[in-house]
Amino acid sequence: MASNGKHSNGNGGKAKANPPVHTVRYGAVKAVVWENQTQHGTMHNVTVSRSYRDEQGEWQESSSFGGDDLLPLAKALDAAHSWIHEHRQKDKESEKQAA
């Protein structure tokens, strides 16, 4: 998957104008957290990718991971999960204070 400056938020490849709300990077691996407002409240999606340089030296992104990428990928996903959990807790506290 080539980086073309547009953001994909994990909804079938449709580009969105909304920027990611959080990015976690471990070396060439990253997990990107996207926030979407729905009729049921705030939802979060996470996309993952691995950066690499192609034969022309241009940066590209792939959704394929090698064996050496798996631990960094797991750590990035764990950090993204923790961020989402903390964000939801803060939202719940804000709702309680507003009530």
pLDDT tens per residue across span 14-69: 555 689 999 999 999 999 999 999 998 899 999 999 999 999 999 999 999 999 99
**Better pLDDT: 99 or 58:** 58
Helix H segments across 5-69? none
The whole-number average pLDDT for the span 73-85 is 98
Q: How confident is the model at residue 75 (pLDDT cuts 50, 70, 90)?
A: very high
Q: What is the pLDDT of residue 98?
A: 82
Tokens read off for 55: 């034969």
Separation between Cα atoms, residue 25 and residue 93, nearest integer Å: 28
**Better pLDDT: 82 or 8:** 82
